[in-house]
Amino acid sequence: MKNKINRRTFLKATALAAPGVILSGCIKPVFDTEPRLKISLAEWSLHRSIFGSGLDKNNWGSWEQALQSNPRSVLQGSLDHLDFARTARQVYGINAVEYVNVFFYDRATDKKYLKEMKTRADGEGVQSLLIMCDHEGALGDPDSQLRKTAIENHYKWIEAAKYLGCHSIRVNAWSVGSYNEQQKLVADGLNHLAEYAQRFKINVIVENHGGLTSNGKWLAGVMQQTSYPNLGTLPDFGNFYVSETELYDTYTGVAELMPFAKGVSAKTIEFDPLGNETSLDYKRLIKIVLDSGYRSYIGIEYEGETLTEHEGILATKSLLEAIL
C-alpha cells in the first residue's frame, strides 16, 4: 500500500511503542512443464470484506486501540472469518489458506472456536498452511523484558497453528538501533521463539514487512545468525519498501530471501488490460522462486483498491496460472 501511514509502518511503530471479473490477455507461460508451485489464498486479500467499516486506514491508532480492547468490534464486514476456508474453496477453487491472527485475535486459546475452524476447513478439503501474526510486540525490541514479552505473546499462536494443522506462523522482525544491532536483537528473539516452536514442529517464518526487514540483505543476514532449522522467510513480492521513500530492489530482495523461504507471498496491487501486474515482472519473479529450488505454495495477497477484492483475487490467480 502507498498510504501516507500504511499498515506496515503502523504495525512496526506500535510493536516498538507498546507492551466477478477475470482479467485475461496474452500472458505466455514461462515453463512448459506441470506447475511446480501450488496456489494458496492469504486471508488479508479479503480484509475489507471481513473488517467492513471496522477498519479506517487513515486512523490505524484508533483501530489498534479497538483491537486491543474489544477485538470483535473491528469485525464489521459481510464475511465471517469462519467462512474463509469455504470461500477459498467454493468461490475461488483454492484448497489451501493462510490465516491472519487479527481476524480471530482473542480466539487463539479458544479450543471450541479453533475446532470449528478446523472442522470447516477439513470439511471443504482445505489445508491450513500458516497464521500471519501481527500486534504481538517487537521480537527485536532493545528492551530485553519487552522482547521476552513479545516472544511469549507468540506462543499461543504456535499452539493454535499446531492444532489447526499449519506448518508455520509468520512473524515480524522489527527492532531499533543500528543495522548490526537490529540484526543481533532480532536473531536473539527469533532463536528463542523457534526453540519453543520446535517442540510443536512449527516453523517461524519472517516476512519482509517494512523497515530493515524489507532490506533483503539485512534479513538474509539475520537468518544466517539464527540457529534453528524451523526458522525461515516468507518473501513478499510487494513489500520491499524500507521506508515511504526507499524501495529496495524487489528482484534482488526475493533472490536473497529465497534460500531461506518456507512460503512465498504473491502480492498484487494493480493490473493492466492484459492481466499483468503493473509494478512487478511476475515472470521474472516466478523464475527466481523456481530457480531457488522452492516447490511449495505461493499465496495470493491482493492489496489493491482499483479492483474489488473478488476481482483482484481472480486476477492474481489468473496471472499465476498463466505463468505456472
Q: What is the pLDDT of residues 50-91, one digit of tens each?
A: 999 999 888 989 999 999 999 999 999 999 999 999 999 999
> Residue 162: helix, strand or coil by DSSP?
helix
7-323 under CATH 3.20.20.150, yes or no: yes
Question: Pairing between strand 127-132 and 297-302?
Answer: unpaired
CB 237 within 8 A of CB 285: yes
Written as one letter, the residue type at 299 is G
Residue 318 C-alpha cell reads as: 489468473
pTM for this entry = 0.90
**Ordered mean pLDDT values, 10 residues apiece, the chain (324 residues):** 48 55 42 76 98 91 95 98 98 98 98 98 98 98 98 98 98 97 98 98 98 98 97 98 97 98 98 98 98 98 97 98 95
Q: Which pLDDT score is estimated for 56?
A: 87
Quote the crossing angle between the two packed helices 179-198 and 155-164, to the nearest 10°. 50
Residue 15 C-alpha cell reads as: 510493536
> Residue 175: helix, strand or coil by DSSP?
strand
CB 128 within 8 A of CB 164: yes
Spatial separation of the C-alpha atoms in residues 255 and 289, rounded to whole Å: 7
Spatial separation of the C-alpha atoms in residues 173 and 187, rounded to whole Å: 9
In 43-102, DSSP assigns E strands to: 96-100
Place of cell 479492483: 307
Spatial separation of the C-alpha atoms in residues 266 and 286, rounded to whole Å: 9
> Which element (helix H / strand E) includes 302?
strand 297-302
